[in-house]
Structures are given as structure tokens and as C-alpha cells.
Amino acid sequence: MPTAVALWHRQGPASPARACALAAIVAVAVAGLDQATKALALEWLARGESVSLFLGIDLHLVRNTGIAFGALAGAGEGLIVAVTVVAVVALVGFFAVRATRPVLWLPVGMVLGGAAGNLIDRGRTGAVVDFIDPAFWPAFNLADTAIVIGVLGVLYAGERRSQPAREPTEPRADAA
């Protein structure tokens, strides 16, 4: 019996247009969920307040003026938006060449949705709202999580060699 992952790989996008549509759906869903969780964090947490969630993970409202995990903080909004736009254009170019690879649309959509969620914050307030704060890592949000998982997925799915799906073999009649 084929696994769910094997079926998913076998039923990959039939065309670049379908892959782009699926990536867009994922991007919109990620950006929407990101904005919803940030709105909840802004409503429920006072700036500087910390609420212990579980096992060293707190909810703590932070305004991040940098990019990933505070890098380039204070570098200026223009530079950060430019870096984001260049990264998104590079990802879209990469995807355009490999769009028919099975499930590549999923991590690409995650990265694009995460980037959109954080750009929405920058456009609205000039900083990204971070609120998940583990003791061992800088604060982050759902968009950051989608971007990290998406980049790992792009590296896996985008560079993986396409192999034709094998048809399941039927047991031989003489095998006991």
C-alpha cells in the first residue's frame, strides 16, 4: 500500500499553472493565519508583558525592525524591503524553472506567504510583530516559521531529482 507521501509525490502538479495556483493558495493562507495570530497577540499582550506558555516558551510581544531573528535591525526600512524583494524574485524565478516538480508549490507558497505576512507588518507599522519567545532563541512569529520550514522544503523538493513513480507490484502466485 503506497504511503500518503508517495501518493502526494505521484499526484504532483500537472502543469506550471496548477503549481502556481496551489502556491498562491498556500501563500494567501499563510499570510492570513500569520496576520490573525499577530492580531491576537497585539490584542492579548501588552508590550513587554511575558506569558509563560509551556516548557520554556513564552508569549512576549516584540517589534522587530530587522529581518530573520533581528538581523539587520536598524539598517533601514528601504534596505530590508529591498533584501526581501530580491529574495522573493529569486524564489519565484527558481520556482518558474522547476514548477512541475511534485510538491514544490507547498514550500514556495509557505515562503511567499511568510514574506507577505511580514511585509504587511512593515507597511503598516514599520516593524514586524514577533510574539513566540523560546528561552533559547530570539522571538519569532508564524510567518518566520513558515519561511524557515518553506526554505528547507524548497531545498529538499527543488533539488531532489525527479524519479518516475513505480507502480506497485502484485505478489507472485508462487510466493508463499
Inside any domain, residue 171: no
CA distances from 141 to 114, 138, 163 (A): 9, 10, 36
Inside any domain, residue 32: yes
Inside any domain, residue 87: yes
Domain containing 103: what range?
A: 15-68+82-159
Q: Give the predicted TM-score (pTM) of the model.
A: 0.78
Inside any domain, residue 153: yes
Which of the residues 34, 121, 133, 144 is marked catalytic? Answer: 144
Q: Check residue 140 and report its DSSP letter.
A: B
**Grid coordinates of 146:** 513558515
In angstroms, the CA 157 to CA 121 distance is 29
Is 58 an annotated catalytic residue? no
Inside any domain, residue 165: no
Share of residues in the chain with pLDDT > 70 (%): 76
Inside any domain, residue 34: yes
Instruction: Give me the number of domains the chain comprises.
Output: 1
In angstroms, the CA 3 to CA 20 distance is 25
Q: How many CA atoms lie within 13 A of 34 on its CB side?
A: 29
The length of the chain, given as a count of residues: 176
In angstroms, the CA 162 to CA 100 distance is 10
Q: Phi and psi at residue 39, in whole multiples of 5°? A: -65, -40
Inside any domain, residue 144: yes
Task: List, for residues 76-126, the tens digit of each pLDDT value.
Answer: 677 878 888 899 999 998 888 887 888 899 999 999 999 999 999 989 988
Task: List, for residues 128-167, the tens digit of each pLDDT value.
Answer: 999 999 988 888 999 999 999 999 999 988 676 555 555 5
Which of the residues 34, 121, 130, 133 is marked catalytic? Answer: 130
Q: Which residues contact 31 (CB under 8 A, 6 or more apart)?
A: 113, 114, 116, 117, 120, 143
In angstroms, the CA 113 to CA 90 distance is 15
> In angstroms, how far is the first alpha carbon of the chain from the final one?
19
Inside any domain, residue 30: yes
**Grid coordinates of 119:** 511585509
